[in-house]
Amino acid sequence: MHRCDTPRCVRPSHLCLGTQYENTLDSVAKRRHAWGERNGHARLVEAQVLELRRLWREDRLPQGELARRFGIHKTKVNEIIHYRRWRYLP
């Protein structure tokens, strides 16, 4: 884990021992973790997630229809509408 948080720093004295889990927690706490649109595997952008939630909440579209409309699996729709994914969005 890196203490000084200067991306180009290569000083060994600025490193501290930590597990992969601790390093990930540190990355998330410092907002350097790839989440949301920054995640290279994201299939949706924030506007689509908000629209998907609105369609489910207001128009009562079934999860299968939302999955087809947004080109994602029904399981992912369920995780999005129950805030297990993209939980930082309203």
Same domain membership, residue 52 and residue 75: yes
Structural domain including 76 reads 38-81
pLDDT in the model for residue 28: 80
Which tens digit of pLDDT belongs to each residue from 60-83?
999 999 999 999 999 999 999 999
For residue 31, pLDDT beyond 90: no
Specify the pLDDT at position 50.
98
Regarding whether 29 and 15 lie in a shared domain, the answer is yes
Does residue 74 share a domain with residue 50? yes
**Average pLDDT value for residue range 8-30:** 88
More confident residue, 63 or 23: 63
Same structural domain, 29 and 63? no
8 Å CB contact between 50 and 89: yes
What dihedral angle (degrees, nearest 10) is formed by the CA atoms of 56, 85, 31, 16?
170
Residue 88 lies in a domain: no
Q: Burial, 42: exposed, middle or buried (Cβ in 10 Å; 0-12, 13-18, 19+)?
A: middle
Q: What is the reported pTM?
A: 0.70
* Mean pLDDT in residue range 86-90: 92
> Could you give the CA distance from residue 74 to residue 38 in angstroms, rounded to a whole number?
22
Q: Tell whether 24 and 53 lie within a shared domain.
A: no
Are both 44 and 77 inside the same structural domain? Answer: yes
Judgement on whether residues 43 and 69 belong to the same structural domain of the protein: yes
Q: Which residue has the higher pLDDT, 53 or 24?
A: 53
Total number of domains in the chain: 2
> Residue 77: how many CB atoms within 10 A of its CB?
24
